[in-house]
Amino acid sequence: MVIKGKWNNKKYKLIKLIGSGNFGKVYKAIDSRKKVIAIKISKDLLSITNEYNAMVKLKNMPFVPKVYDFDDLEWGGEVCHFIVMDYIHGENLKEIDTKRKLNPQIIFKLGEVLINILREIDETGYKYTDIKLENIILDKRGNVYFVDFGCLVEKGKPTKEYTPPYNINSWNINFKYDYEISTLFSVTMIMVSLIGKKEFNPLICSLEQVIVKINDLPLKNREKQFLIDGLKGKFKNFNEYKNSLSSLIKGKKSYNGLSKIDYILAVSIVSFVFVIIIGIKSILS
């Protein structure tokens, strides 16, 4: 199916639906120059305009897909709005989590990358509040991208878009926290979900129950303690958190660790294919 923007008149051929949320849909598509792109189509003008403005504001940051077009279209008899952006060749963390078991060392490294990204956003005076597995994409080279920038707001303003498991406000927390502590909570919860292969719903379990689960995980004691401290607001700022996380990660290197994530992911894919080949051979023999 081909869509055409109302004002800029650009045409795009939709190839495949890749995401579907409350207000919109995301498609893999190709533009008139045959370049593969992603198109987010939404009826919510406020949220998608905020998203477009946010992506333009953060356009020089390497973890933000580049945007190319923002326009309206007639869609099923209604006026919708769409953003055209780089298609990230990879998978979101939820997809990765359902297909593979990631080693905790890789998950801690990923946590460090997320902290670097969120700190960079923080320095612009804005906050990214909808931290969750589906909004973080890992590309084939091991680069991490964020999507879904409709949630970006100035730091002093109230949070508009969030997902309860990763949002400190949704848990019945009895300590004081600020924006930095709540961001550290979200990143910690991302790591806990990936290591435990389970997302926790604050409507049906308490933070104490999550901590019991962390204590049951096959981790070193200091790794468990780090995760528990992250959820309990023991780290007061990005730096304290990052120093503690770096010391958990062997080698203590920070940003270039991405290639290692990629390498280990690639190894896990190769070994998966290898297991299939061995399996097929043993069935045939």
Ligand X SMILES: Nc1ncnc2c1ncn2[C@@H]1O[C@H](COP(=O)(O)OP(=O)(O)O)[C@@H](O)[C@H]1O
The DSSP-derived string for 53-112 is HHHHHTTTSTTSPPEEEEEEEEETTEEEEEEEEE---EEEHHHHHHH-PPPHHHHHHHHH
Quick one: which of 134, 179, 225, 229 contacts ligand X (CB under 6 A)? Answer: 134
Q: Is 51 in the site for Mg ion (CB under 5 A)?
A: no
Which residues 6+ apart lie within 8 Å of 89 measured at CB?
139, 140
Q: Is 19 in the site for ligand X (CB under 6 A)?
A: yes
Which residues 6+ apart lie within 8 Å of 47 measured at CB?
23, 150, 161
Alpha-carbon torsion (209, 210, 212, 217), positive or negative: positive
Quick one: which of 47, 135, 167, 183 contacts Mg ion (CB under 5 A)? Answer: 135
Quick one: which of 12, 29, 40, 189 contacts ligand X (CB under 6 A)? Answer: 40
Tokens, residue 143: 């680069």
Q: Hey, which residues between 142 and 161 contact Mg ion (CB under 5 A)?
A: 148
Binding piece for ligand X, criterion CB under 6 A, among 82-90, 104-112, 217-225, 255-263: 82-90
Q: How far is the CB of 49 from ligand X (least distance, A)?
A: 14
Q: How far is the CB of 194 from Mg ion (least distance, A)?
A: 17
Judged by the rule CB under 5 A, the positions of this chain that interact with Mg ion are 134-135, 148
Judged by the rule CB under 6 A, the positions of this chain that interact with ligand X are 18-19, 21, 24, 26, 38, 40, 65, 85-88, 92, 134-135, 137, 147-148
